[in-house]
Amino acid sequence: MFKLATFTVLSVTLVTANINITSPPITNWGVWGRFQHCPLGYAQGFQLKTESYGGSFFDDTGMNAIKLFCGDPFSFGTTVITSTEGDFGEWGNVYSCYPGYLNGFQLKVEEYQGSSDDTATNNVRFYCTNLADNNYLEGDGLGFGDWGQVQHCYSNQVISGIQTQVEPNQGDDDDTALNNVLMECSDFPPKDYNSSDITKVQIK
Ligand SMILES: [Ca+2]
Ligand SMILES: [Ca+2]
Ligand SMILES: [Ca+2]
């Protein structure tokens, strides 16, 4: 004889919270700057500050800062957030996934070069809600290093905040500027989850 299973269906409210996703620290120089959060809206585009390659005898730094646009990057009045900005380079192209939202990122990082010139993080790719899986927007940083692990928000979340770890100006010593980033992921769309209760089946 086999025992009949009894099923009880429970209604469980789905509770999620903001999470932070952080680059795996291939390099770890510098200090974490201020955390900035979109006061309204969520990240829909980005811009990188990058120092152009200076040649073999130059102290290169690669990527120096990241701006996130909390809305359509090409719309007047969209709030821009950033964290610590390295001293070197220029702001590059603006990348947009509007009307989609950023929901993941990946850094291109050059590992420790010993007595040779270090650059740490050189470029970033962002993943968007309106792009197919494994598609991304790649920034206009430099090409040194390797692409690291993809950091992704949960499927019901998008990027809403940023913090960066940037090495302060080293003067005559080897500079690397931006080393690591942290992105905050928030629930999207923000809503009363009572309307999306999930059911859990419990087997006794
Ligand atoms: Ca070095
Ligand atoms: Ca230097
Ligand atoms: Ca350097």
Q: In a 10 Å sphere around its CB, with 0-12 CB exposed, 13-18 middle and 19+ buried, how is residue 191 labelled?
A: exposed
- Section 49-63 average pLDDT: 97
Indicate which ligand has the atom closest to the C-alpha of 172: 2
Q: Return mean pLDDT, the chain.
A: 90
Q: What spacing in Å lies between the alpha carbon of 89 and ligand 3's midpoint?
A: 13
Please check whether residue 204 lies inside any domain of the structure: no
103-131: per-residue pLDDT in tens? Answer: 999 999 999 999 999 999 999 999 999 99
- CATH code for the domain in which residue 158 is found: 2.100.10.20
Please check whether residue 180 lies inside any domain of the structure: yes
Q: What spacing in Å lies between the alpha carbon of 67 and ligand 3's midpoint?
A: 22
Q: What spacing in Å lies between the alpha carbon of 116 and ligand 1's midpoint?
A: 4
Whether the predicted pLDDT of 154 surpasses 70: yes
How many domains is the chain partitioned into structurally? 1
In the prediction, which pLDDT does 6 show? 52
In the prediction, which pLDDT does 3 show? 57
- Section 185-194 average pLDDT: 72
In the prediction, which pLDDT does 194 show? 43
Cα–Cα distance, 88 to 129 (Å, whole number) = 32
Please check whether residue 55 lies inside any domain of the structure: yes
Structural domain harbouring 106 = 7-199
Indicate which ligand has the atom closest to the C-alpha of 179: 3
Q: What spacing in Å lies between the alpha carbon of 170 and ligand 3's midpoint?
A: 9
Q: Would you place residue 164 in the very low, low, confident or very high pLDDT band (cuts 50, 70, 90)? A: very high
Please check whether residue 1 lies inside any domain of the structure: no
The residue whose two tokens read 């291939």 is 26
